Amino acid sequence: MNQSSKQFSRIVGTGGYLPEKILTNADLEQMVDTSDAWIRERTGIEQRHIAADDQTTSDLAEQAARQALDMANLAPEDLQLIVVATTTPDKIFPSTACLLQQRLGNHGAPAFDVQAVCSGFIYALSVADQFIRAGMVRNALVVGAETLSRIIDWSDRNTCVLFGDGAGAVVLEVGEEPGVINTHIHADGQYENLLHVPSGVSKKPITDSISERSMHMRGSEVFKVAVNTLSQVATETLARNGVAPEELDWLVPHQANKRIIDATARKLKMKPEQVVLTVNRHANTSAASVPLALNEAVRDGRIQPGQLILMEAFGGGFTWGSALVRY
């Protein structure tokens, strides 16, 4: 470990992948008692992507990872760390990170999953950033990948209109300047019953009961905690890093609900054009949403080198967090 000269992580590649199949609000009108107008007004969502029956989370992750590696000009075999944030792993084990490593043809780098539901990417980025700062590795692949559609009860209008599938990735490399300036991650486990899937492994093994293997959510209660918590973490991030709101160039938020995103942007006094919004087209892709949004704004040229980005997320657990990044 090198303690004398400080080292940081920098984002040197981004990637994203969305499955081909699109499910529109009009399609959902045929499936449950809902309307395009209700979904747009309450959430800002117009459509979502859904993985094909034979597509797994690691399939989505591989596509996003290869794009990020290409942009970083890094060969997969030279990766030193692979972290995948997911709530919808291919299997109970091996981890999706190990399955991704197998696909990429990397041998020997540590590879593991991080489970923090919709905050998973921020958690994974924080973990990988610490590995690089500590001098343990010189680069890392961080992926958020989900097939949320597999844990949705498609007859439950309270949840099925909100989620989609996808994957996003970044490659981090060591640098002398940040890069990732700071990450702030938190959890409060007391909220288990507001947002959860009842079945799993040791408590209630996965059964054929759709209700038990699908997401349950008390939406309006989750909404209130999310708005308050994201406002707090935005304030904390600015204060702890001595950054004024007007110094931020971009907000890259978790894409759960446009009204939650608007509330955070208002708190930060950011203009709508400084907010990277994908929720209308992607819906909530959980751990994939932040890296997918980042990748989109990097690739279309909105985010430019040197700009200051605040990423934030909130999810089941509850978990929440932020990353302040100089791109």
The site for ligand COA (CB under 6 A) is made up of 34, 38, 42-43, 118, 157-158, 161, 217, 219-220, 222-223, 226, 256-257, 284, 314-315
C-beta of 218: minimal distance to ligand COA in Å?
Answer: 8
Catalytic residue of the set 25, 49, 98, 118:
118
Question: In which element (H, E) is residue 227 found?
Answer: helix 219-241
C-beta of 35: minimal distance to ligand COA in Å?
Answer: 6
Q: Would you call 206 helix, strand, or coil by DSSP?
A: coil
Nearer to ligand COA among residue 183 and residue 289 (C-beta): 289
Q: Is 98 a catalytic residue?
A: no
Spatial neighbors of 325 by CB under 8 A, at least 6 apart, are 11, 178, 179, 180, 181, 308, 309, 310, 311
Between CA 215 and CA 200 the distance in angstroms is 12
Nearer to ligand COA among residue 10 and residue 254 (C-beta): 254
Nearer to ligand COA among residue 24 and residue 34 (C-beta): 34
C-beta of 277: minimal distance to ligand COA in Å?
Answer: 15
Query: 318: cis peptide before it, omega within 30°?
Result: yes
Spatial CA neighbour of 9 closest among 135, 113, 115: 135
C-beta of 284: minimal distance to ligand COA in Å?
Answer: 6
Q: Is 254 a catalytic residue?
A: yes
Between CA 251 and CA 261 the distance in angstroms is 9
With beta carbons less than 8 A apart as the criterion, state whether 167 and 109 touch. no
Nearer to ligand COA among residue 116 and residue 128 (C-beta): 116
Catalytic residue of the set 25, 98, 139, 254:
254
With beta carbons less than 8 A apart as the criterion, state whether 50 and 162 touch. no
Q: Which residue is nearest to ligand COA (CB)?
A: 219
Q: Is 228 a catalytic residue?
A: no
Catalytic residue of the set 25, 139, 257, 284:
284
Q: Which residues are catalytic, by number?
A: 118, 254, 284
